[in-house]
Amino acid sequence: MKGTDENLKNTRSGRVWSNQDLDPVAPERRNWSAWTFAGYWISESWAPNTWSVGSSMVAGGLLWWHALLACIVGHFIAALLTVWNGRGGAVYHIGFPIWMRATFGMWGSLLPLACRSVLALVWCGIQTWFGALFIDVSFCAMFGKSWINIPNKLPLSADITTRFMTAYLLSYLASLTCAFFRPHQMKPLIKLKAITMPFACIGLFIWAMVRSGGPGTLELSNAPKSKSLLGWSFVAAVNAAINGEFGPLIASDSDISRYARKPKDQLIGQLSVAPWSASVVVCFGIIAAACTQKIYGEAFWNPGEIMYAILAENDSSATRFAVFLCAFIFAIGCVGTNYVANLLPFGVDASGFAPKYLNITRSQILCATIGAWVVVPWKVLTSGANFLTAITGMGIFVACMLGIMVSDYYFVRKGNYWVEDLYNDHSNGRYWYSKGFHWRAYAAYICGIAIPFPGFVGAISGNKMASLLNPAGQIYAIGYLLAFAVGGVTYYGFCKISPPPFVDEARALPFESIGRSEVLMGIHRVGSDDIETVAEEQIVETKKQY
């Protein structure tokens, strides 16, 4: 058995295909238990963006209970997709960029990485803006009018004030600090967020219920008169619950599951929390919005808006302290979400582009900086509606990749991969395909995105194709699931018609037999004589984990 470094030295082109962050995770860094995964999903579900999910659904014409039911259904489906996608990472301890090599080819993997990297950059900037919002609220509560009345020195064309720019800078610095840490070092932040965020959300919810005397009839919108339109609105809401809330986390799950102590940790930990946790927060957000409509005559969907309203109504020291504490916890929550959903995915993806020069830390620093200062999220959120729609809609591109990857893992190769071949570009390598590109994956990818693409174009341009009364809009309403399914099924069909090289030897083995016996292959980057001895000593222990 050869070490990964030896593979790198023998690459045909001389290109370095790995570094410490792309290599299979060493045993001492596999420290995520089932409790860690459960805490991870609590920390990600109990978040400001989850609280506000119901707003777009109600604005689209659904009644409150329609929106809640759509979220429950969507989150359950998303949880299944998450553990399905995360299985390979927990078995082989490799992340998303390496799985893309297995499916799209050594060179072909770069396009999927670029697609996910762009999404991570944009959402990083937007999440930094949300962090700034809660920092601003907490400073309003702490310093009162001395903070609120800070003179604005920026021009109107900047679309941001000096006060909020200061909060935004602090939010950026908080995310930048996290960028210096690797995933296995972020357990304390995940635990802190998992413990504190539920208290903050529940506290804000209780205040809304007590202050309003109850949400009343919860009449936040009128249901569409057409049953057909209501049905498609519900389907679109389910799709939005998967794509908008879970989409980035489904895609990046192997980047997290690779740190699992054993495969069942990611399965038990994620399935025990992910299907229901986010739906509870969405329910809180919907009821709190109804309460604020009863109190102020306007429904506030963003928890930051609720806190601003509380301070404007009651300026007592007790109220200011409670709002400060709640806003500060929400700010921490935004930082944690930004790391897991944006910094980490970009970090591993950028490492896949240039492993010799970019490790995960450098890449995360790039993401935090580019996302914050190049994306300019305050302009995107105020005047870039079409751009934001485009970025959200790009979930269909990621969903199609995931469908192909899941199809390859479970149905084409039966979970059997030779890890060493994922780190070299020899022409006889199992994943080199045709000059580094896998045409079957790309053909399936085109098929997967072609069907919902007209509706995607209509959504960006705002024309009638995006309407739920139009066939293209109806197809786009289920775009995420459709792209996932079509991409996966067509990929399997192409592989049956024209089997990829070496696939028969993978299919001839029992499911995941390579992962069960050689899961430690390549984790040592030093090609020393004791690698095989160390690996063989731990194979017996590895088999016990399954």
pLDDT tens string 277-302: 999 999 999 999 999 999 999 999 99
User: What is the Cα–Cα distance from 534 to 58, expressed in whole angstroms?
Assistant: 57
What pLDDT score does 543 carry? 45
Half-sphere exposure of 190 (CA within 13 A, CB side): 23
SS3 string, 403-418, reads HHHHHHHHHHCCCCCC
pLDDT of residue 541 exceeding 80: no
| Long-range contact set of residues 477-480: C-beta below 8 Å, sequence gap at least 24 | 477/232, 477/235, 477/236, 477/239, 478/235, 478/236, 478/238, 478/239, 478/452, 479/239, 479/243, 479/393, 479/395, 479/396, 479/399, 479/452, 479/455, 480/239, 480/242, 480/243, 480/247, 480/395, 480/396, 480/399
pLDDT tens string 228-246: 888 888 998 999 899 876 8
- At 538, is the pLDDT very low, low, confident or very high (cuts 50, 70, 90)? very low
What pLDDT score does 186 carry? 87
Which pair of structure tokens corresponds to residue 401? 């990749």
Q: Which residue has the tokens 């994956």?
A: 441
What pLDDT score does 338 carry? 94
User: What is the Cα–Cα distance from 491 to 441, expressed in whole angstroms?
Assistant: 6
pLDDT of residue 139 exceeding 90: yes
Per-residue b or e along 181-215, where b marks 16 or more CB atoms closer than 10 Å to that residue's CB? bbbbebbebbbbbbebbbebbeebbebbbeebeeb
Residue 117: partners with Cβ closer than 8 Å, 6 or more residues away: 345, 346, 349, 350
pLDDT tens string 13-37: 556 788 989 999 999 899 999 999 9
More confident: 44 or 320: 320
Residue 509: partners with Cβ closer than 8 Å, 6 or more residues away: 414, 416
What pLDDT score does 113 carry? 92
Collapsing DSSP to helix, strand or coil, 434 comes out as strand
Which pair of structure tokens corresponds to residue 474? 């109806």
pLDDT of residue 531 exceeding 50: no
What pLDDT score does 461 carry? 76
pLDDT of residue 389 exceeding 80: no
- At 251, is the pLDDT very low, low, confident or very high (cuts 50, 70, 90)? confident
What pLDDT score does 332 carry? 95
User: What is the Cα–Cα distance from 40 to 82, expressed in whole angstroms?
Assistant: 13
pLDDT of residue 252 exceeding 90: no
pLDDT tens string 458-482: 887 776 555 777 888 889 999 999 9
Of 34-38, 79-83, 283-287, 521-525, give the lowest mean pLDDT range: 521-525
Of 99-113, 409-423, 508-522, give the lowest mean pLDDT range: 508-522
One-letter amino acid identity for 463?
N
pLDDT tens string 144-168: 999 999 999 999 999 999 999 999 9
Q: What are phi and psi of 379, to 5 degrees?
A: -80, -35
Q: Which residue has the tokens 């109806």?
A: 474
Q: Considering only CA atoms, give the Rg of the chain.
A: 24
What pLDDT score does 214 carry? 87
110-143 vs 162-178: helix crossing angle, rounded to 10: 130
- At 413, is the pLDDT very low, low, confident or very high (cuts 50, 70, 90)? very high
Report domain extents, the chain.
Answer: 31-94+124-151+159-382
Fold of 31-94+124-151+159-382: Hydantoin permease (1.10.4160)
Do the Cβ atoms of 328 and 35 come closer than 8 Å?
no
- The predicted model gives 42-57 an average pLDDT of 87
Nearest to 53 by CA among 78, 40, 77, 70: 70
Half-sphere exposure of 96 (CA within 13 A, CB side): 32
pLDDT tens string 84-135: 999 999 999 999 999 999 999 999 999 999 998 998 999 999 999 999 999 9
pLDDT tens string 324-372: 999 999 999 999 999 988 999 999 999 998 898 999 999 999 999 999 9
More confident: 6 or 419: 419
- For 162-228, the DSSP string reads HHHHHHHHHHHHHHHHHTTS-GGG-HHHHHHHHHHHHHHHHHHHHHHHHHHTS-TT---S---S-HH
With vertex at residue 445, the alpha carbon angle to CA 442 and CA 448, rounded to the nearest 5 degrees, is 155
pLDDT of residue 533 exceeding 70: no
Residue 185: partners with Cβ closer than 8 Å, 6 or more residues away: none
pLDDT of residue 523 exceeding 60: no
What pLDDT score does 312 carry? 95
Could you tell me what percent of the chain has a pLDDT over 90?
A: 66
Q: What is the dihedral of CA 118, 234, 246, 446, to 10 degrees?
A: -50
On average, the pLDDT of the chain sits at 87
User: What is the Cα–Cα distance from 100 to 395, expressed in whole angstroms?
Assistant: 17
User: What is the Cα–Cα distance from 244 to 57, expressed in whole angstroms?
Assistant: 12
Q: What is the pTM of this model?
A: 0.88
What pLDDT score does 13 carry? 56
